[in-house]
């Protein structure tokens, strides 16, 4: 990449006029951002100036302006993520100071009561874990099987119908799934098994698993389809059947993408809110026994959604602590997916 088009030439001064455009656009964006935070009532004026400067930059040097705006968007995204992290941790600190490690470990006596005050997230963490395991048990095998069928077995006409239909299902609002689960599955479990009509973790897990299924199928299908055709052709040329090629060559080669699809589905299950809120009652106790998936223990997301409107003081701080636990959990899943992907790239001789 030349100095004129590279990041060094763009900023460091080796391309005079190019730098002038970049610095002008960057300065306008910084002034607009500072005004927004320091004097929101005056933010309209620097925003107008930004629009004028960007229009000028686009006419004077379109490529440099585009790179400047892209860099600004990246910095803004990272900054917002950092500010969210700091805000979550700062707002949760009073709850951790009050309860100490009991926030994450207390299992006896009163576990959640704002009047005492006592705040233990153990029942919510356990409810989230059970619901996520049920959802993963549904979405992972069915999602991988559906992806293999669409990419390797289905005829072209079926693939052209199934792929868009599955992607459309991924866009259905979660409240719709939750309401269907509440109206149909809840009532079915109550009529056939004598369970309470106010819901259970099993119903929540089934609903969230169905919600995560389109995501798993779509991402896993893309990963399987991206496996080079030469690998499949070589296997078939050596005498392997189509099924042997799929199970021994295609799926292992796409394992990093398939595992990422499963982790994305699990991440959606962990962070799902509305379906759990609609189905579950506000029960903040551990189920008896602990493995009772038909219990009604609340999840972390439904705890926050159902109690934030009347929370204040330390109660609100405890809800932020639940947000921190969710944040760390999803971050761990993301890092785990990246680790699996890098490991499989090294194993398969990729770029990792």
pLDDT at 86: 92
- Place 3 in a pLDDT band, splitting at 50, 70 and 90: very low
pLDDT exceeds 60 at position 106? yes
| Contacts for 188 with CB less than 8 Å, ≥ 6 apart | none
The residues, any chain, with a CB within 8 Å of residue 101's CB and separated by 6 or more, are: none
E strand spans, 23-158: 112-113, 118-119
Residues near 112 by Cβ (< 8 Å), separated by ≥ 6?
A: 118, 119, 120, 123, 284
pLDDT in tens, 130-170: 888 898 899 889 999 998 898 888 888 888 888 888 888 87
pLDDT in tens, 19-31: 677 787 778 888 8
Q: Could you read off the pLDDT of 236-271 as tens digits, one per residue?
A: 888 888 888 888 888 888 887 788 888 888 877 777
190-235 tens-digit pLDDT? 777 777 656 788 888 888 888 888 888 888 888 888 888 888 888 8
75 or 7: which leads in pLDDT: 75
| All structural domains of the chain with their residue ranges | 7-86, 112-347
Q: What is the pLDDT, as a whole number, of residue 13?
A: 42
In this structure, the chain runs to a length of: 352
Q: Look at residue 4 and tell me whether its pLDDT is greater than 50.
A: no
Q: pLDDT tier at 32 (50, 70, 90 boundaries)?
A: confident
Please check the confidence at residue 18 and state whether its pLDDT lies above 50.
no
CB under 8 Å, gap of 24 or more: what pairs does 71-78 form? Answer: 71/26, 72/25, 72/26, 72/29
Name the CATH superfamily for 112-347: MetI-like (1.10.3720.10)
- Residue 335 CB partners (closer than 8 Å, separation 6+): none
**Distance (Å, rounded) from C-alpha 249 to C-alpha 247?**
6
Q: What percent of the chain has pLDDT over 90?
A: 2
In angstroms, the CA 348 to CA 100 distance is 46
User: How far, in whole angstroms, is CA 30 from its chain's centroid?
Assistant: 30
Distances (CA, A) of 208 to 166, 197, 294: 15, 18, 15
Residues 205, 295: contact at Cβ < 8 Å? no
Query: How far is residue 58 CA from its own chain's centroid?
Result: 35
| Cα distance between residue 243 and residue 180, in whole Å | 37
Task: Report whether the peptide linkage leading into residue 289 is cis, meaning its omega lies within 30 degrees of zero.
Answer: yes
**pLDDT attached to residue 178:** 84
Q: Specify the pLDDT at position 345.
A: 65
Provide the mean pLDDT of the chain: 80
Contacts 24+ apart (CB under 8 A), 282-290: 282/306, 282/307, 283/123, 284/111, 284/112, 284/123, 284/124, 285/111, 285/123, 286/107, 286/111, 286/122, 286/123, 286/126, 287/126, 287/127, 287/201, 290/126
pLDDT digits (tens, 9 = 90+) for 79-95: 888 888 899 999 999 98
* Residue 10 reports pLDDT greater than 80: no
Confidence of residue 1 (pLDDT cuts 50, 70, 90): very low
Mean pLDDT of 328-339: 78
Quick one: pLDDT at residue 15?
43
Condensed to tens digits (0 to 9), the pLDDT of residues 271-320 reads: 777 778 888 877 788 888 888 888 778 888 888 888 888 878 888 998 99
pLDDT classification of 7: cutoffs 50, 70, 90: very low
Q: Greater confidence, 344 or 127? A: 127
Cβ distance 174 to 273 under 8 Å?
Answer: yes
Q: Look at residue 74 and tell me whether its pLDDT is greater than 80.
A: yes
pLDDT at 349: 56
Query: What phi-psi label fits residue 285: left (phi over 0), alpha (psi between -120 and 50 degrees) or beta?
Result: beta
Report yes or no: 217 and 147 within 8 Å, Cβ to Cβ.
yes
């Amino acid at each position: 990449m030349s100095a004129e088009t590279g990041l060094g030439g763009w900023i460091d001064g080796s391309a005079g006029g190019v730098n002038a455009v970049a610095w002008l656009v960057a300065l306008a964006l910084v002034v607009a951002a500072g005004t927004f935070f320091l004097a929101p009532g005056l933010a309209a004026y620097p925003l107008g100036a930004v629009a004028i400067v960007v229009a000028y930059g686009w006419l004077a040097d379109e490529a440099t302006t585009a790179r400047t705006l892209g860099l600004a968007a990246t910095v803004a995204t990272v900054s917002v993520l950092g500010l969210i992290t700091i805000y979550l941790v700062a707002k949760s600190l009073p709850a951790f100071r009050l309860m100490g490690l009991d926030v994450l470990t207390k299992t006896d006596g009163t576990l959640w009561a704002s009047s005492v005050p006592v705040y233990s997230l153990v029942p919510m963490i356990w409810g989230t874990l059970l619901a996520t395991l049920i959802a993963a048990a549904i979405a992972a095998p069915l999602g991988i099987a559906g992806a293999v069928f669409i990419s390797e077995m289905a005829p072209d006409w079926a693939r052209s119908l199934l792929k868009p239909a599955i992607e459309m299902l991924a866009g259905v609002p979660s409240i719709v799934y939750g309401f269907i689960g509440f109206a149909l599955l809840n009532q079915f479990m109550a009529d056939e098994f004598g369970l309470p009509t106010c819901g259970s973790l099993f119903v929540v897990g089934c609903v969230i698993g169905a919600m995560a299924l389109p995501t798993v199928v779509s991402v896993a299908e893309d990963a399987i389809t991206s496996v080079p055709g030469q690998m499949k052709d070589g296997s078939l040329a050596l005498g392997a059947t189509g099924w042997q090629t799929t199970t021994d060559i295609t799926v292992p080669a796409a394992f990093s993408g398939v595992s990422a699809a499963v982790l994305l589905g699990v991440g959606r299950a962990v962070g799902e809110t509305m379906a759990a809120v609609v189905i579950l009652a506000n029960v903040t106790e551990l189920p008896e026994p602990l493995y009772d998936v038909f219990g009604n223990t609340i999840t972390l997301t439904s705890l926050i959604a159902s109690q934030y409107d009347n929370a204040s003081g330390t109660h609100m701080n405890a809800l932020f602590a639940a947000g921190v636990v969710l944040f760390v959990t999803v971050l761990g899943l993301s890092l785990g997916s990246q680790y699996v992907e890098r490991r499989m790239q090294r194993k398969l001789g990729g770029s990792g």
